[in-house]
Chain A
């Protein structure tokens, strides 16, 4: 019995020791972005080191990120000073629990971003922080297989399929790579690229005859896609290993390939379909939870992050582009140059059909994306008939739209009230 008492004493003694160590001066920056260790390290050393009060930058996966945040909000006190996450993460949070940021007087240069950041209220709940997009990239070895007459900066889906088929035939292996892995961002391809390019819509046209064509085209492309794609989440890995030669992914998930071997790869715009060249931005934001321990320091940090110099440093660290006016210096890393040029070409193309991020879905944004992922898995992986799957998924999509009452966003035609699925 004495032994046990001693141990218990020792344990509680240790606990006291350990609580004593903590220092509370720094602002805790709780983020779902810049997670890969190298990016996190660059955030700490090159971006946040310049902030006077000191920042404790802690990137986390979305699970722990959200759990901790919810716990602090429920408990009514906490240690998180500033939140960094994708627009979709904030959309799922009750705006009441975020501090209004209007008084800071900083905004992004894009009105669309600023209004997204209000989360349906009439003041800024988060500030647009940085942006990116999805582009295509290819190994230069694949260029010799480009179809006759195709311009890599103005490809169509048909040309892309032909190109992938040529490579397949030429090297005997399917070399198109698609991020369909568990952490891959495949849903954004369907929502922002495939659907807008073929149907000029996302929600309204979900089960339209054009959508059937879109999925048929995707199936054609899939025949020349590396079947291991269901394990790919960061296409830079497969570009570098040579498992894939032509890929689609998020700019920051391609960056490492360009930075490691800048001469071996090219970046180019996404392809165009019958209704234009669909593409979509990625928006990350920063916010302050109502439980922030040191509100003033948190606001200072938010302002600091929005300064043009900080935004450029952030671009170097994370490959996410500034959302404020910032003059980019010439010595940017190869990944930034390549991605920047591709995005510029994509938005400047005559057939550009830019889409918006889904908005107004609140906590249903996850369910919304799941509709598209499920559709993909059923049609492409399970080989179920397209029309039937679309009819089936359509009901769930309608239920989500009706429940949230979210109005249509571009490229869907505007709606009164909830966006209808036609």
Chain B
């Protein structure tokens, strides 16, 4: 930003062309993300006949029939609430459990560190549907079965690698000298952490919290197996999305996507507030 002012006049023209290319590529990348979603919206707002017709129109016709079908479902709101509760618990659990480990990985050399990292990764590299059977047996025996908390525990297992590894890379990005400086200025390890390090990585923590939320929100298999009365939205009506008639498939997909988008939108401020910090 400051550099442009000091540049000689002659360089301004290519600079300008560069600006256009830059703006165009930003717009292109935005379109790349949004257009498929827009197409989903079109199909969601189309009557069953239009969804099956060819060629497809690129303008939605605002037929709310498919959405109304889902609105007529009993228990949608309860399921929505369950989904939110489970996702929120997953978020809190994965951060409180995961972040300390991320800190330990970035700041200390200890025996078994590599083994520990591999353990963390193993959880993501082994398919959950295979683990669901022993987990469900365990849960039924301990009474965790069919509780939002029980499901949140499983979702936390899925989210923890993200929490640990993201916080690890964030802590690694903060110079250890910064903390050491704080110690020499009279902080204990604990206060140095809370006063110096924590504010710096708070936005990054939000990022991994978002991961946790979204992972839990979109998880179908464990939710279908482990919840009966307290089922989540995905388990309640969207797990068999693949087999619904086309128009309902699209509407269902849309219903699944929207709350997650709203959530990301709501927390985007925290996610990207780090720019302010870095610019200080």
Which A residues fall within an 8 A CB radius of B?
A: 4, 7-8, 10-12, 14-15, 18-19, 21-24, 28, 35-38, 40-41, 44, 56, 58-61, 63-64, 67-68, 70-72, 74-75, 77-79, 183, 233-234, 236-237, 240-242, 256, 260
Report the separation of the CA atoms of residues A46 and B139 in the bound assembly, to the nearest whole angstrom.
34
Contact between B85 and A18, CB atoms less than 8 A apart: yes
- B148–A14 touching, CB < 8 Å: yes
> A242 and B240: CB pair below 8 A?
no
Beyond A19-B147, A67-B136, A256-B245, whether A59 also contacts B52 by CB under 8 A is no
Q: B240 contacts A28, CB within 8 Å?
A: no
Partner of A8, one of B74, B96, B146: B96
Of A58, A60, A75, A260, which is within 8 A of B141 by CB?
A75
CB pair B243–A71 under 8 Å, yes or no, is no
CB of B239 to closest CB in A, whole Å: 7
Say whether chain B's binding surface is mostly helix, strand, loop, or mixed: helix
Interface centre among B148, B239, B240 (most CB of A within 10 A): B240
If A8-B96, A21-B230, A67-B132 touch, whether A183 touches B243 (CB-CB below 8 Å) is yes
Q: Which residues of B contact A7 (CB under 8 A)?
A: 92, 96
Assuming A11-B89, A71-B133, is B230 touching A64 (CB within 8 A)? no
Q: How many whole Å from B22's CB to the nearest CB in chain A?
A: 39
Q: Does B110 contact A (CB under 8 A)?
A: no
In contact, B133 and A70 (Cβ under 8 angstroms): yes
Verify A15–B147 contact, CB threshold 8 A: yes
Which of B101-109, B157-165, B175-183, B221-229 touches A? B221-229
A–B complex contacts, Cβ < 8 Å, 21 sampled: A7-B96, A15-B89, A15-B149, A15-B152, A19-B147, A22-B230, A37-B240, A37-B244, A56-B228, A59-B240, A61-B224, A64-B239, A71-B137, A71-B139, A75-B136, A183-B243, A234-B243, A236-B245, A240-B52, A241-B54, A260-B48
B276 at the interface (CB under 8 A from A): no
- Is the pair A60, B146 in contact by a Cβ cutoff of 8 Å? no
B275 contacts chain A at the CB level, 8 A cutoff: no
Question: Inside 8 A of A183's CB, which chain B residues have their CB?
Answer: 242-243
Within 8 Å by CB of B146, from A22, A40, A59, A70, lies A22
- The answer to the question of B204 belonging to the interface, with a C-beta cut-off of 8 Å to chain A, is no
Q: Which residues of A contact B248 (CB under 8 A)?
A: 36-38
Instruction: For the complex formed, measure the closest distance between the CB of A231 and the CB atoms of chain B, giving whole angstroms.
Output: 12
Extra 18 A-B pairs, beta carbons < 8 Å, given A18-B85, A24-B229:
A4-B96, A10-B92, A14-B85, A14-B89, A19-B146, A21-B230, A37-B69, A37-B244, A38-B248, A60-B240, A63-B221, A64-B132, A64-B221, A64-B225, A68-B225, A78-B140, A240-B246, A242-B54
- Which residues of B sit under 8 angstroms from A79, Cβ to Cβ? 145-146, 228-229
CA distance A64 to B92 in the complex (A): 27
The closest CB in chain B to the CB of A70 belongs to B133
Among B85, B221, B229, point to the contact of A22 (Cβ < 8 A): B229
CB distance from B225 to the nearest CB of A (A): 5
B129 sits at the interface (CB 8 A): yes
> Shortest CB–CB separation between residue B133 and chain A, in angstroms?
5
Which of the listed residues B52, B224, B244 has the most CB atoms from chain A within 10 Å of its own CB?
A: B52
Residues of B within 8 A of A56 (CB): 228-229
| B148 CB to nearest A CB, Å | 4
Q: What interface size band does chain B fall in?
A: 35 or more
Q: How far is the CB of B19 from chain A (nearest CB, A)?
A: 44
Contact A71 B140 (CB under 8 A): yes
Query: Which 8 residue pairs across A and B have the least CB separation, nearest first?
Result: A15-B149, A71-B136, A64-B224, A75-B140, A22-B229, A18-B148, A240-B52, A35-B240
Residues of A within 8 A of B73 (CB): 41
With contacts A18-B230, A41-B73, A241-B52 taken as known, whether A36 is within 8 angstroms of B245 at the C-beta atoms is: yes
CA A183 – CA B133 in complex, angstroms?
23
Return A77 CB to nearest CB of chain B, in Å: 6
Interface assignment of B252: CB less than 8 Å from any CB of chain A: yes
Question: Quick check: A18 and B147 within 8 Å, CB to CB?
Answer: yes
Bound CA–CA A256/B82 (angstroms): 32
Interface assignment of B237: CB less than 8 Å from any CB of chain A: yes
Q: How far apart are the CA atoms of A402 and B248 in the complex, in Å?
A: 45
Distance A4 CA – B229 CA, assembled complex (angstroms) = 30
Q: Contacts A71-B140, A74-B137; is A28 near B228 (CB within 8 Å)?
A: yes
List A contacts of B228 (CB < 8 A): 28, 56, 58, 79
Which residue in chain A gives the minimum CB-CB distance to B229?
A22
B53 to chain A, nearest CB (A): 8
Cα distance, A79 to B147, chains bound together (Å): 13
A15 near B148 with CB under 8 A, answer: yes
Whether, in the assembled complex, B192 has its beta carbon less than 8 Å from a beta carbon of chain A, the answer is: no
**Chain A residue contacts of B74, Cβ below 8 A:** 44
In the complex, A237→B249 CA distance in Å?
12
Known: A4-B96, A237-B245, A256-B245. A68 touches B136 (CB 8 A): yes
Q: Chain B contacts of A12 at CB under 8 A?
A: 149
Encode B104-128 as 1/0 by CB contact (under 8 A) with A. Answer: 0000000000000000000000000
Partner of B52, one of A11, A19, A237: A237
Give complex CA distance A11, B52 in Å. Answer: 46
Q: Which residues of A contact B145 (CB under 8 A)?
A: 79
A contact residues around B205 at 8 Å (CB): none
* B207: interface (CB < 8 Å): no
Known: A14-B89, A241-B54, A256-B245. A37 touches B140 (CB 8 A): no
Chain B residue with the shortest CB-CB distance to A1:
B190
Complex Cα spacing A72 to B70, Å: 31
Is there a chain A Cβ closer than 8 Å to B45's Cβ? no
Closest to A72 in B: B140
What B residues does A234 contact at CB under 8 A? 243
Chain B residues contacting A59 (CB-CB under 8 Å) are 240
The minimal Cβ–Cβ distance linking B229 to chain A, given in whole angstroms, is 4
Please give the distance in Å from B114's CB to the nearest CB on chain A.
27
B77-94 CB contacts (< 8 Å) to partner A:
82, 85, 89, 92-93
CB contacts under 8 Å to A, within B231-270, are: 231, 237, 239-240, 242-246, 248, 252
Please name all residues of chain B whose beta carbon is closer than 8 Å to the beta carbon of A233 when the two chains form the complex: 243
Most chain B CB inside 10 Å of its own CB: which residue of A28, A67, A78, A183: A67
Which B residue's beta carbon lies closest to that of A23? Answer: B229
